[in-house]
């Protein structure tokens, strides 16, 4: 058994510059950096992620978002659902993740 970790409502906000890119691919990359940072704070990483939900605002952006998902996840294969939703501008992508950290 291990610890279940929930990282919800994460967007591509760049906290150092207090900005968010207009580009959906870059928003997705920054979202991954934000999730990775949150997981690292509690001794976890993307290798522990077992489920994700990727929310996006425009169907035309899905290919670019999907490419970043493949680029970032590499060999990690969590269950991932995608859903087109309305988000506040300029947000185009939001990701929630569930990770299970294995106990030693």
Are 49 and 69 in contact by the 8 Å Cβ rule? The answer is no
pLDDT (tens digit, 9 = 90+) per residue, 44-99? 999 999 999 999 999 999 999 999 999 999 888 999 999 999 999 999 999 999 99
pLDDT (tens digit, 9 = 90+) per residue, 20-58? 999 999 999 999 999 999 999 999 999 999 999 999 999
CB hemisphere CA count around 43 (13 angstroms): 7
pLDDT-based confidence at residue 101 (cuts at 50, 70, 90): confident
What topology does CATH give the domain 2-102? 60s Ribosomal Protein L30; Chain: A; (3.30.1330)
In the chain, where the domains are located: 2-102
């Amino acid at each position: 058994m291990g610890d279940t970790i929930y990282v919800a409502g994460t967007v591509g906000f760049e906290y150092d510059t207090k900005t968010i890119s207009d580009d959906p691919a870059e928003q997705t990359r920054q979202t991954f950096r934000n999730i990775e940072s949150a997981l690292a704070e509690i001794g976890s990483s993307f290798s522990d992620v077992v489920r994700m939900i990727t929310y996006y605002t425009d169907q035309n952006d899905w290919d670019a978002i999907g490419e970043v998902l493949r680029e970032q996840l590499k060999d990690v294969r969590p269950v991932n659902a995608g859903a087109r939703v309305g988000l506040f501008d300029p947000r185009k992508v939001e990701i929630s993740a569930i990770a299970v950290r294995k106990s030693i």
